[in-house]
Chains A and B, each alone.
Chain A
Amino acid sequence: DARVTQTPRHKVTEMGQEVTMRCQPILGHNTVFWYRQTMMQGLELLAYFRNRAPLDDSGMPKDRFSAEMPDATLATLKIQPSEPRDSAVYFCASAQTGGANTGELFFGEGSRLTVL
């Protein structure tokens, strides 16, 4: 089964440290999304890429977060420096969008981040 792969699955770090989360989208999907999920805010869209180009990162705190897609098989989300309020589950999702596609998003299992 094709699936979205995220690493790490769990990360505990101290405030001020850099955190990098990685995502391998499903081969052939042209759109990659980063979401953050917390109890208070639910699923928030942070950024998304289509054909590796960043289309929208307005949901992301620009001063500390950055998202890139260095190639079609890898998307990264970096937090530097991390803060306790960044503690959340970060999901990557990929989809084939455009044309007659349904737009179904396929999610990875998430990266659970705890910043102490």
Chain B
Amino acid sequence: RKEVEQDPGPFNVPEGATVAFNCTYSNSASQSFFWYRQDCRKEPKLLMSVYSSGNEDGRFTAQLNRASQYISLLIRDSKLSDSATYLCVWGVNFNKFYFGSGTKLNVKP
């Protein structure tokens, strides 16, 4: 079993929609969590860290549920430019980082 599991999608949503992705992790010792964004044929880039209390950055909200071992990403008011693959990441001791396979999002006009 992979350390991090994600629904590969694709999620096809209209502009302006709200969309949410979940990601489950298997190791209860996981210490840090992140969401990365990867555009087609490009490298992954950090979207946001995920804090225990939840955090928000503009239209993006990240949540962590340690009891159920999942993290989530909520995107409000989707834009065409949000179309990408979203990768969840968990890290151990800020030294070793495991990536999920990614969830593909297509935002349609």
Instruction: Give residues in A with beta carbon < 8 Å to B.
Output: 31, 33, 35, 41-43, 45, 48, 50, 55-56, 91, 97-98, 101-105, 107-110
What's the Cα separation between A105 and B44 when bound, in Å? Answer: 9
Instruction: Give residues in B with beta carbon < 8 Å to A.
Output: 2, 32, 34, 36, 42-46, 49, 87, 91, 94-102
Taking a contact as CB atoms closer than 8 A, the residue among B32, B46, B95 that contacts A50 in the complex is B95
- Please tell me if the beta carbons of A101 and B46 are within 8 angstroms of each other in the complex: no
- Please tell me if the beta carbons of B49 and A110 are within 8 angstroms of each other in the complex: no
Number of A-B pairs whose CB atoms are under 8 Å?
53
Which A residues are CB-close (under 8 A) to B100? 42
Taking a contact as CB atoms closer than 8 A, the residue among A42, A101, A104 that contacts B102 in the complex is A42
**3 shortest interchain CB distances as A-B pairs:** A42-B101, A107-B43, A43-B99
Minimal Cβ-Cβ distance residue in B for A101: B94
Which A residues are CB-close (under 8 A) to B42? 109
Taking a contact as CB atoms closer than 8 A, the residue among B2, B87, B94, B98 that contacts A103 in the complex is B94
